[in-house]
Structure 1
Amino acid sequence: MQARAAAPRGLAARGRRSVSVQASGDAKFADYKPKVAFFFPGQGAQTVGMAKEAAEAVPAAKQLFERASDILGYDLLAVCAEGPKEKLDSTAVSQPAIYVASLAALEKLKAEQGEEAAAAADVTCGLSLGEYTALTYAGAISFEDGVRLVKLRGESMQAAADAQPSGMVSVIGLSADKVAELCEAASAEAPAGQGVRIANYLCNGNYAVSGGLAGCEAVERLAKGFKARMTVRLAVAGAFHTDFMAPAREKLQEALAGTAIQEPRIPVISNVDAAPHADPDTIKAILAQQLTAPVQWETTLKTLLDRGLEKSYEIGPNKVIAGIMKRIDKAHPIENITV
């Protein structure tokens, strides 16, 4: 599987534009006016020890882990609580772990602040993997189907990464346009099929690029010349959100075809085009597309704020999303419900 060709100049601007997947009857949430958002984290938020206290204190949270473990075939709570770190960090395990831990955090919110607080969101979204958690919260995907999907997603992404080594690099201190130029220069130096492109549009000064190992090395080598503050090689299996993940996308498409997805009860903002979708077939298509498309998180948060978002909750392990939101709008109130 070849990586996408060298990123042309201006990729960043095009990446921020809507790449909407439309279907008849998919405009239900077009005029949504958000007030309270629930955000769910993605891969990388996991830490050994997560969910241990929540499972001990909240019976409903522990039950989620028990139900998930029956599907997964191993004790998920034990891995979350005790590790080893190498196992928890593996793509195949971390994805179901974060999915279930985030929903356990929702049960913690319910136990501490009541049903009304847990149902307060009128819009939701998640960072990459977190989109599945958001769809579950919105009633589009059942918990059991969600566990099965993220299990297959993680395993398929790991297999795709093992088949063709690749990587991701976080570039700190540059605008999206400058990172796109850096990707273009790095791709020009890399062998065919080893190019890189922006994979995660997080916030100004923080973008992750994905691609072949030679392309990643070129990004690290050239970044200082583009006046980047620093680069960080990400501890992930491979080049997520690029064509390196095409084999995983094909497997996920097959699984999604056989999964019942309902119309969400509230808008769920897609990573692919920063827009909400109501049509189940469109949601299936966009979830598959998400594996090889850049994550439009910066546009998502800015759009929510522009539409009047008043308060947010990050629900799940760590505080990654809250940090990104503060980079975009320091004054926006965001509360963390961690596990």
Structure 2
Amino acid sequence: MPDVSTAWVFPGQGSQESGMGRDLYEAYAVARELYDRADSVLDRPLSRLCFDGPDGELSKTTNAQPAIYVTSLACLAVAREAAALPHAPAFVAGHSLGEYTALAAAGAVGFDDGLRLVEQRGKLTQAAADATPGGLAAVLGLDDATAEAVCAAAGAEVCNINSPGQLVIGGSKDAVAKACALAVERGARRAIPLDVGGAFHTSLMAPAAAGMREAVDAIEVRAPAIPVVANDRGSAITDPAEIRTELVYQLTHPVRWVQCVEYMGQHGVTEFIEIGPGRVLTGLIKRIAKDAHVRNINGVASLST
């Protein structure tokens, strides 16, 4: 029976760090099987990159995305085996890339298919970024409506609504610079350009979305055993056709993380468990759902906390 008060959430790009997953691999056969399987499917030593880096190579989009996917699912597999997660959750969700991990965790896509999709996603988004350079910026202290208005005036787009007063905007470099200046004029505490290679979750990713549609059409997508809260709509989806659409749509549309967390809270979730490297989502959720219990599972030591 599912625990109706719990949700599992999975991190996106930016949570990677060299050394991630090594303790899982050394201590649990179920983790070794996943990393070894990933190396075989991708025909390259992804596990070694996770364990040894270097950070500069691991942080490349084409490496970070499959590395986080595999490490997050290894954390989940170990937590289940160690009885740290005795019950299925009411919902799963993931931030950006983490949505693919959530779908694999819920059984909507198989491990191999999900891994191939994630690797393809990394290649496609990097190619789109190289073809049409753009950027992102974090905007702090501005409400959503004002941020939308600022972006409309500057030709930029809102691409992540991460927590109250913390958004990410994106677009061409000129549009982002203009939007940052306007945001400060309109009352933002800070508008900080981010060191990233492209305008992810904006219309500049349209070429990547077109390629992703072909990749998604080539795999089997099943109804998930656990409802998946979708990034853009901020509500649960279970229909395979909707899932196929979401996997493509999310590349060019915003991650509405605040809405996702609030939706789960409105449906009875009082505990969020972040599964995977880092603690990014743990921090965001604590700012969204102040009364919720939040914990993370990112390695062997975290299994007993």
Match of 1:177?
145
Please state if 1:75 is matched with 2:50.
no
For residue 105 of structure 2, the aligned residue among 130, 137, 143 is: 137
Shift in alpha-carbon separation, 1:55–1:233, aligned structure 2, 3 A: farther
Distance 2:234 2:182 in 1: 31
Q: Which moved more, 1:158-167 or 1:229-238?
A: 229-238
For residue 151 of structure 1, the aligned residue among 119, 142, 145 is: 119
Distance 1:138 1:131 in 2: 10
User: CA offsets, 1:132-172, max 9 Å, x none?
Assistant: 11111111100000100000011000000000100111111
Distance 2:112 2:227 in 1: 21
TM-score (norm 2): 0.93
Match of 1:123?
91
The offset of 1:182, in angstroms, is 2.6
The offset of 1:208, in angstroms, is 0.5
Contact 1:90 1:237 (C-alpha < 8 Å) held by counterparts: no
Match of 1:60?
30
Matches within 5 A, 1:195-214: 195-214=155-174
Q: Which moved more, 1:256-265 or 1:53-62?
A: 53-62
Match of 2:303?
none
What is the count of residue pairs matched by the alignment?
A: 298
Partner SS state of residue 144, structure 1: helix
Distance 1:221 1:147 in 2: 39
Matches within 5 A, 1:8-23: none
Match of 1:37?
7
Partner SS state of residue 44, structure 1: coil
Partner SS state of residue 199, structure 2: coil
Residue identity matched to 1:106: L
Distance 1:105 1:234 in 2: 28
Partner SS state of residue 207, structure 2: helix
Match of 1:275?
235
User: CA offsets, 1:36-79, max 9 Å, x none?
Assistant: 10000011111122111121122211221111111222111111
Matched residues, percent identical?
A: 39
Consecutive unaligned residues in structure 1, runs of 5 or more: 1-31, 188-194
Partner SS state of residue 112, structure 2: helix
Residue identity matched to 1:223: A
Partner SS state of residue 169, structure 1: strand
Contact 1:161 1:237 (C-alpha < 8 Å) held by counterparts: yes
Please state if 1:46 is matched with 2:39.
no
User: CA offsets, 1:207-249, max 9 Å, x none?
Assistant: 0001001112223333332222222322322111111111111
Distance 2:12 2:184 in 1: 29
Match of 2:63?
93
Residue identity matched to 1:124: V
Distance 1:79 1:33 in 2: 35
Residue identity matched to 1:128: S
Shift in alpha-carbon separation, 1:166–1:118, aligned structure 2, 3 A: farther
Contact 1:40 1:314 (C-alpha < 8 Å) held by counterparts: yes
For residue 247 of structure 2, the aligned residue among 280, 287, 290 is: 287
Contact 1:33 1:308 (C-alpha < 8 Å) held by counterparts: no
For residue 79 of structure 2, the aligned residue among 109, 113, 116 is: 109
Distance 2:192 2:298 in 1: 25
Give the alignment's Cα RMSD to 1 decimal.
1.7
Consecutive unaligned residues in structure 2, runs of 5 or more: 300-305
Distance 1:329 1:136 in 2: 25
Contact 1:91 1:236 (C-alpha < 8 Å) held by counterparts: no
Contact 2:90 2:269 (C-alpha < 8 Å) held by counterparts: no
Residue identity matched to 1:203: S
User: CA offsets, 1:2-59, max 9 Å, x none?
Assistant: xxxxxxxxxxxxxxxxxxxxxxxxxxxxxx9942100000111111221111211222
Residue identity matched to 2:112: E
Please state if 1:257 is matched with 2:252.
no
